[in-house]
Structure 1
Amino acid sequence: MVANPKYKQRASDQIQSTSSIVSLFDDTGTDHYAEDLLSIYYDGAIGINKDGEIIFINKTASKITGWLHEDAKHQPLEKVFQFCNDILEQSYLKIVTKVMRTGHIFGPIKRHPIKTKKNKEIYVDFSISPLDENTVMLMFHKISLASDLQQRPMLYQFSHDTLTRTANRNTLQQSINHLHNNYKQKRNPYSLLLLDIDRFKLINENYGHKSGDQLLQLIAERMQHFIRDKDNLGRWGGEEFMCILPDADIDTACKIADRLCQNIAEEPFIIDDREVPVTVSIGVSNYPEDGATPEELFRVADTTLHQAKQNGRNRIHSSQQTTKSIFSKGSLLEKALNENRVVPVYQAIFDLKTGKQVAEEALARIQNDDGSLIAAHEFIDAAVELQMVHRIDSQIIKKMITRCVKSYMEQPNTLPHFVNLSADLLRHPQLVNDIIQFAKEKYDECGQINCEEKPIVIEITEQELLGDMDEVKSLLAPFIDFGMPLAIDDFGSGYSSLTYLADLPISYLKFDGALIKRVAYEDRARKIINGIQKMAESLNLITIAEHIEDQATLDVLRELNVSWGQGYFSAKPAE
């Protein structure tokens, strides 16, 4: 473990005043004088030689551990200073050797349990400092954590993560809100780091959950060495940690994040005598550059973390590396979502043979204050980057369900209503349950709750759902069980389409729009569409062509017997 230079400087005065003590413990009869000299320290002090053996111990250390100087001298350190668990990833001797070799302080290690000579468990803070090339000193003091926990178990439980002994998410949020309220009047800067352990799931699978828990402890311990005294570290959830950096502009925050990233990756963690290499990805957000509220900063930190992972992991990412327009559009979208101004427009779908409208599709728009609409292509990239698509989907599908039910009550033979559903929404089970409950209430109003097939068609894009088929089925099950038919959108744009046709109850197949745009002018595109159409007919699927923009394309699609179609040539989206 490599120590932060700040600890080296903090202890420099202490090291200078104690380094001369080493020479006093040399079998020349000056032990008592040296022990008296060391007794001026309120902290416990134990000197250790290059072999990991104790060469001196002061009165405070004797009182805390129960070991007298004459009993402790020449004993191995691990016998006198006994850990109650295996939280350290290195043996004592390795730590001692490294401190001597590098001249760096090890620690401080906070709130650590040890056992006394009488086998009593106590808690201490400690560090190990270099004295000379052959000697180090372990300095420690007893803390009242154990008794505090007995006296205030609920307070500690509510404010700390019991595994890593760092602040929990609730405490972090309260700390950020408090900091923000203090800083916002003068617009003093502060930053947030959101850190995620790369491929932590694989670590759990390969080494076991117990080792995974131990790794979380070790990482939390190591991170404490590379942040400032004023910084606040805590566990955000799962394998994520949050670090609050007061008085840190974006450049300072990136330097601290980079230091964390490098020092975690620099040296493997030792768990059960096995080296476990670990890397982390870190997202950075800053007030006031990235947002005016803590919620906006959380979102930016989450987004930049996601981008760090997308860019290859083991790196940091900040808004400085992200197009500013994404965040401005994200702010626009956030405001629209909060004000319920994300609205659907509807594009008619026609039978290509008869020209009769047979269905419609809901498309998302942002409604401005003046009533004008912002098209999806102007904000959808920002929504994806900022992980807001699930919120858009939720509002659109609820409004579509309301429209569908209203249409049925006016005219019972209602048309199918298509709506896009993202994998982002499907991976928010609470939102999915909320949508299904909303649909049940609406269909109960019109007496169609027991209808086997509802007229709401869920469109899924194959590239959104790449992964294990059992997981895909599980994600879609609430909608399928409720009686909502499925459509595959952009069919042919990926490589899993045929698998979905074989394993999912697909009713509609929508061709990839890029193919449709080429079908009137390229023979190969026509042959591909023709082949897919024949396969769909054999499976009794209704095919739909999107992006029909001219008469030539419409004529070719009719020749190929494509069932339905939509596009600006036939009808533009309308409210």
Structure 2
Amino acid sequence: MLIRSSKILIVDDEERIRSGLSAVLLQAGYEIACAANGRDATTLLSKKDFGLALLDINLPDVSGQQVLDFIRRRQIDTSVIMVSGESTFEQATAALRKGAADFIAKPYDPQKLLDTVSAVLKKRQRKKEYLKIQERLQGSEELHRFIVDNSPDLIFMLDDQGYFSFLNEKSRQFLGCQGEDFLGRHFSEIVLSQDFEKVSQAFRYLNRGGHQATRSMELRLRPRNGGEVRHVEVWAISVEMNSLGVYATQRDQGRPMVGIYGVARDISDRKQSEELRRYHLYHDQLTNLPNRALFTDRLQIALGQARRKKQQLAVMFLDIDRFKMINDSLGHLAGDELLQKVAQRLKESLREGDTLARISGDEFTLLAPDIGGVDAADIICRKIQSVFEQPFQLHGQTVRVTFSIGYAVYPHHGQTREMLLKNADLAMYRIKGKGRNGHCCFTEEMNRINSYHFDIENSLHRAIENNELRLFYQPQLDLSTHKVVGVEALVRWEHPVRGLLYPSEFIPVAEQTKLICSIGNWVLEQACRDAVRLAEAGYSDLKMAINVSAQQLELGHFDRDFLNILGKFPLDPTRLEIEITESNLMQDMDKSMRILTTLATHDVRIAVDDFGTGYSSLSYLQTLPIHTLKIDRSFVRNIVPGGEGQNTIITAILAIAKGLDLNFIAEGVETGVQDAYLREAGCLQAQGFHYSQPIGFNKLLAFLEHWNPQRNSTNSKISPIQSYSSSKS
């Protein structure tokens, strides 16, 4: 029945032969599959198990000899009988050498075919049975002894009192001595004292027996020669005696437990690797300080202790001021070295029970448990800042490091780990916003400000999409004629809940969240659209001034984006003037030069806003393609009655503008005194509340329509906006 259940593959290119063979073998009870060529045969042999293949030598694509080579190469467990009409001695010999079981010539006798197939399959069956017997014989004592002695693990047996009765050859590596030297000794002689109780409990458990009593544990062994302590993983099982020897089986009455069989595997390398991995999991690799995960874990433990003992603790965020500038100037390797030096100096200035952690590039956190309250935390901050008054020497350069530190104290500023960390972080950002190099304790006012910023940030994402932004325009006047020569586009936000918001209320948030570029593009496009509408209304000579942020310049492709938007409108580029603050202009002179030069070559005008507040060097005025200087409002504000001597800065800047043939605009003009002084000093243009507040586009059209410069002489004491307001009333 086993032979009849074998599956046979018939491979022959002649349909008549395949059909004949199939009929004979099917009638004999065999399961049959057929292949018409060698390729099909190799495919079937790869996918299915066949006990026997009847293989024609001459096949149209792949010869039978090649199929036989395929079977041998792939080590496919299939017996092969070669079938051929050209039965030559050479072919038969070649096939038999390649592993064929027999050879049948065409035409074949059906009975002889069946006898040959049966004989080959019986031989195959006998071979399989022989291999099974061989496998059983491999359980001999000699083979077992060889396997035990050459095992990579320490194999041992203890008697029922815990004394060694057997150790294999691995004892030399594990224990530093021959196995015979340890026979009759107690296991406690090699187990580290800290693990002895663990082993004793396991031994008592195994000694009590039970159904297949086994135990697994990790231990530390102490070699006799005083070598390095080894970590081992031990699997032990209680064993019992019967008439045939020692067996690890269920314990029965009359079969006493004779001891314990165990295997100890050396896991010292693994334990060392695990310790290293665990260390790196909870420590910063650069400074070896605890990382965020370990810090939060210790903070959680410290909070539990503080609650029980009714103590206070402080959580601090410490951020290195302007670290990016140091890193960019000296290089990342020097920056890493500086971080290591900073970490070391911080550790030396703290108490033993404090936890200092590095949680990001230049940011550290500090846990100070059991302190006296806010005043004590303030003292710690002052101490940290004092120890960094001494600069570092780094690669031949003197580097000074200052910190912005924010802190929160439990329980006053939070009851949970998350709340304390959040509040300390808020305090740190507050001190950074105030100019850095200081420390600050959390207050509830910070929460209110943060909540406001959070609401503004979430709403700002929808402002452009929901068409909530508005452009207001402040007229710029020629002081000699009091004609409107231009307008400055100023963005406002029509918030659905908070009402009209000014730039100071949302632009800082937009800059932090990188939304300023999207807002800037919207402003540019809307300003161009309104400039076209002004031209259509008859004001084609008005200049349109548009503010540009530092982040827009940092993109590197601001000039391309600007010109793409400008290209959408039928607008003369000379009517557009972009305003860039002096500080933003100087952040990256090379990039500013490239972008502004590109825009200037396309006839776009460039203005420097807030001039006079940032840099003493004025060489960039000759280097960059600048057309206009806008003096900062802080200088105009100083123009007061009787204060002529205080206005020399304005006179000097006017002289610079005239010398470089630059246009000059004074902003923030709010009084008639300021207007008169600027006109007498030779200032060409001005803007401010004295003339007009920023107004919407429709009001701007009305303003321009009713503006009548003939009503106002140059000596008039009535401002243009007052005249405009009077005409409207």
Deviation at 1:399, TM superposition (A): 3.3
- Partner SS for 1:339: helix
Paired residue for 2:522? 399
1:4-19 alignment, distance < 5 Å: none
Deviation at 1:276, TM superposition (A): 10
Paired residue for 1:40? 193
Determine the C-alpha separation between the residues in 2 that align with 1:542 and 1:360. Answer: 15
Determine the C-alpha separation between the residues in 1 that align with 2:499 and 2:673. Answer: 32
Among residues 343, 360, 363, which one is paired with 1:236 in the alignment? 360
1:176-575 alignment, distance < 5 Å: 193-197=316-320, 210=333, 212-217=335-340, 233-237=357-361, 239-242=362-365, 251=374, 254=377, 258=381, 261=384, 280-284=403-407, 300=426, 303-304=429-430, 306=432, 310=436, 313=437, 316-320=439-443, 328-329=448-449, 331-340=451-460, 344-365=471-492, 367-369=494-496, 372-375=499-502, 379=505, 393-394=516-517, 396-410=519-533, 411=535, 413=540, 415-421=542-548, 425=551, 429=554, 432=555, 439-446=562-569, 455-460=576-581, 462=582, 464=583, 471-474=588-591, 477-478=594-595, 481-483=598-600, 485-493=605-613, 496=616, 498-519=618-639, 521=641, 522-524=643-645, 528-575=649-696
Task: Confirm or deny: 8 A CA contact 2:318 2:364 kept in the other structure.
Answer: yes
Deviation at 1:303, TM superposition (A): 1.5
Determine the C-alpha separation between the residues in 2 that align with 1:571 and 1:258. Answer: 49
Deviation at 1:332, TM superposition (A): 2.7
Determine the C-alpha separation between the residues in 1 that align with 2:651 and 2:391. Answer: 56
Determine the C-alpha separation between the residues in 1 that align with 2:638 and 2:382. Answer: 51
Deviations, residues 396-449 of structure 1 (Å, cap 9, x unaligned): 5333202122124544847443344565x479x3xx45866754553343377x
Distance 1:439 1:145, change over 3 A: farther
Distance 1:421 1:325, change over 3 A: farther
Task: Confirm or deny: 8 A CA contact 1:488 1:506 kept in the other structure.
Answer: yes
Task: Confirm or deny: 8 A CA contact 1:195 1:305 kept in the other structure.
Answer: no
Determine the C-alpha separation between the residues in 2 that align with 1:38 and 1:316. Answer: 54
Determine the C-alpha separation between the residues in 2 that align with 1:206 and 1:367. Answer: 43
Determine the C-alpha separation between the residues in 2 that align with 1:265 and 1:560. Answer: 50
Deviation at 1:570, TM superposition (A): 1.3
Task: Confirm or deny: 8 A CA contact 2:291 2:357 kept in the other structure.
Answer: no
Determine the C-alpha separation between the residues in 2 that align with 1:165 and 1:528. Answer: 54
Deviation at 1:298, TM superposition (A): 8.9
Deviation at 1:304, TM superposition (A): 3.6
Deviations, residues 198-227 of structure 1 (Å, cap 9, x unaligned): 676798799985464345356557878969
| Coordinate RMSD, CA, aligned | 6.0
- Partner SS for 1:144: helix
Determine the C-alpha separation between the residues in 1 that align with 2:490 and 2:314. Answer: 37
Paired residue for 2:30? none
Deviations, residues 370-394 of structure 1 (Å, cap 9, x unaligned): 57434456x48xx87x895785854
**Residue-pair matches, total:** 414
Determine the C-alpha separation between the residues in 1 that align with 2:511 and 2:370. Answer: 29
Task: Confirm or deny: 8 A CA contact 2:577 2:606 kept in the other structure.
Answer: no
Deviations, residues 442-470 of structure 1 (Å, cap 9, x unaligned): 3343377xx8768141231x4x359xx68
TM normalised by structure 1 equals 0.52
Determine the C-alpha separation between the residues in 2 that align with 1:419 and 1:270. Answer: 46
Task: Confirm or deny: 8 A CA contact 2:478 2:485 kept in the other structure.
Answer: yes
- Partner SS for 1:403: helix
Amino acid at match of 1:240: E
Task: Confirm or deny: 8 A CA contact 2:318 2:428 kept in the other structure.
Answer: no
Amino acid at match of 1:474: K
Determine the C-alpha separation between the residues in 2 that align with 1:554 and 1:285. Answer: 51
Determine the C-alpha separation between the residues in 1 that align with 2:663 and 2:329. Answer: 46
Residue 144 (structure 1) aligned with residue 274 (structure 2): yes
Identity across the alignment (%): 24
Deviation at 1:144, TM superposition (A): 1.8
Task: Confirm or deny: 8 A CA contact 1:513 1:547 kept in the other structure.
Answer: yes
- Partner SS for 2:669: coil
Deviation at 1:497, TM superposition (A): 6.2
Deviations, residues 65-97 of structure 1 (Å, cap 9, x unaligned): 89xxxxxxxxxxxxxxxxxxxxxxxxxxxxxxx
Distance 1:473 1:264, change over 3 A: same
Deviation at 1:317, TM superposition (A): 2.5
Determine the C-alpha separation between the residues in 2 that align with 1:388 and 1:249. Answer: 39
Deviations, residues 507-541 of structure 1 (Å, cap 9, x unaligned): 11122324434547333356654443343223221
- Partner SS for 1:336: helix
More contact order relative to length (CA 8 Å, sep ≥ 6): 1
- Partner SS for 2:618: helix
Determine the C-alpha separation between the residues in 2 that align with 1:456 and 1:241. Answer: 45
Distance 1:269 1:368, change over 3 A: closer
Determine the C-alpha separation between the residues in 2 that align with 1:375 and 1:344. Answer: 11
- Partner SS for 1:236: coil
Structure 2: tracts of 5 or more residues without a match: 1-188, 196-220, 231-267, 301-311, 464-468, 697-729
Distance 1:256 1:392, change over 3 A: farther
Query: Which range moves more in the overlay, 540-549 or 400-409?
Result: 400-409
- Partner SS for 2:359: strand
Task: Confirm or deny: 8 A CA contact 1:426 1:476 kept in the other structure.
Answer: no
Deviation at 1:544, TM superposition (A): 0.9
Distance 1:353 1:285, change over 3 A: farther
Deviation at 1:560, TM superposition (A): 3.4
Determine the C-alpha separation between the residues in 1 that align with 2:541 and 2:425. Answer: 40
- Partner SS for 2:664: strand
Distance 1:297 1:487, change over 3 A: farther
